[in-house]
């Protein structure tokens, strides 16, 4: 069986809850991890296929093939990729920002917004606990469930939603994660790759049809106020459709313009994957 990754946050449940519930059979092994760990494992060959940071895929598109139809992104606000700062972002020139070790897309998006939208630069310092840094009044980048905690903790004026800022600036969707497969694995085992893709798409369909079950599972993992997950999951987009691809294309071209990635890859899935 293929070795595949899974993001260890509640934002993956609208897809992966179907496997947890036994509603859809998954034809591979699952390895949970934070995005940065999955990125590394896929590139090193410890995984064959995985959700990865969009930034990581873009920087290694010569080795990683983009799967069609799947992403984790947002049309406007996302809630779970935040810069917590008592100052507006345009005043962070020369500041030190505590950044999570768990994300590449969030970190690159913050750097991109600071440089291109606001014309400022900041020093990013990796932190094991950026939430604590934010509590001390320091600018901090948080993602995932800790970002959701921060959104409920800090005054709204200190909570800067990076997907919302991206949308205000570009008018585009933001894609934070994509599903990718190693190109050598795709060449050797295309049938197994397509079986995993079919299962993921079936699971996404199940999640849409059984949102109450998805929310119940999320609450057992990390309880939130009533109605929270219903609203949160409405902010997320799990389909790499035309709007998401347009946003992803803008993102990778902006990254290339900053010199953050060697080239701006095509955001169209590999022919071998798209021709099903």
Q: Would you list the DSSP string of the chain? A: -EEEEEE-SGGGHHHHHHHHTTSS--SEEEEEE-HHHHHHHHHHTS-SEEEEEHHHHHHTTTTEEEEEEEEEEESS--SSEEEE-SS-GGG-TT-EEEEESS-SHHHHHHHHIIIIIS----EEEEES-HHHHHHTT--EEEEHHHHHHHHHHS-GGGEEEHHHHHHHHHS--EEEEEEEEEHHHHHH-HHHHHHHHHHHHHHHHHHHHTHHHHHHHHHHHS--STTHHHHHHHHEE----HHHHHHHHHHHHHHHHHTSSSS----SPPHHHH--
Residues 63 and 195 in one domain: yes
Residues 228 and 252 in one domain: yes
Residues 42 and 70 in one domain: yes
pLDDT of residue 269: 86
Token pair for 120: 């400022």
Residues 68 and 129 in one domain: no
Residues 30 and 118 in one domain: no
Domain boundary among 145, 170, 195: 170
Domain boundary among 137, 170, 203: 170
Domain boundary among 170, 195, 225: 170
State the maximum Cα–Cα separation within the chain, in Å, rounded to a whole number.
52
pLDDT of residue 100: 87
pLDDT of residue 74: 98
**First CA to last CA distance, the chain:** 20
**Structural domain harbouring 126:** 81-170
Using DSSP bridges, classify how beta strands 159-161 and 123-127 pair: parallel, antiparallel or unpaired. Answer: unpaired
pLDDT of residue 273: 74
pTM of the model: 0.94
Distances (CA, A) of 114 to 121, 245, 252: 6, 23, 16
Token pair for 218: 């999320």
Cβ atoms of 163 and 105 closer than 8 Å: no
Using DSSP bridges, classify how beta strands 123-127 and 81-84 pair: parallel, antiparallel or unpaired. Answer: unpaired
Residues 165 and 89 in one domain: yes
Residues 92 and 136 in one domain: yes
Residues 135 and 191 in one domain: no
Residues 55 and 185 in one domain: yes
Average pLDDT per consecutive 10 residues, the chain (276 residues; last block may be shorter): 95 97 98 94 98 97 97 96 96 95 90 97 95 96 94 97 98 97 96 97 98 97 96 97 98 97 92 62
Residues 186 and 262 in one domain: yes
Domain count for the chain = 2
Q: What is the CATH number for 97?
A: 3.40.190.10
> If 0-12 CB within 10 Å is exposed, 13-18 middle and 19+ buried, where does residue 15 land?
buried
Residue with tokens 């800067």: 160
Residues 62 and 90 in one domain: no
CA 206 distance to own-chain centroid: 21
Residues 46 and 96 in one domain: no
């Amino acid at each position: 069986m293929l070795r595949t990754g899974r993001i260890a946050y509640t934002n993956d449940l609208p897809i992966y809850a179907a496997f947890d519930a036994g509603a859809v059979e998954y034809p591979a092994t699952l390895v949970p991890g934070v995005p940065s760990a999955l990125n590394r494992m896929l590139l090193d060959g410890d995984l064959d296929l995985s959700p990865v940071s969009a930034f990581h895929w873009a920087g290694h598109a010569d080795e990683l093939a983009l799967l069609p139809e799947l992403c984790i992104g947002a049309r406007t606000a996302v809630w779970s990729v935040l810069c917590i700062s008592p100052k507006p972002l345009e005043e962070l020139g020369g500041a030190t920002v505590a950044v999570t070790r768990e994300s590449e897309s969030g970190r690159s998006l913050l750097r991109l917004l600071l440089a291109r939208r606001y014309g400022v630069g900041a020093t990013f310092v990796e932190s094991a606990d950026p939430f604590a840094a934010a509590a001390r009044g320091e600018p901090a980048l948080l993602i995932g469930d800790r970002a959701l905690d921060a959104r409920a903790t800090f005054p709204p004026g200190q909570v800067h939603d990076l997907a919302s800022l991206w949308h205000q600036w570009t008018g585009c969707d933001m894609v934070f994660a994509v599903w990718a497969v190693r190109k050598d694995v795709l060449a050797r085992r295309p049938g197994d790759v397509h079986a995993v893709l079919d299962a993921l798409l079936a699971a996404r369909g199940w999640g849409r049809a059984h949102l109450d079950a998805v929310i119940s599972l999320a609450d057992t993992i990390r309880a939130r106020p009533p109605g929270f997950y219903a609203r949160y999951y409405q902010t997320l987009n799990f389909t790499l459709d035309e709007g998401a691809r347009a946003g992803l294309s803008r993102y990778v071209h902006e990254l290339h313009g900053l010199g953050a990635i060697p080239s701006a890859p095509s955001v169209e899935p590999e022919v071998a994957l798209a021709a099903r």
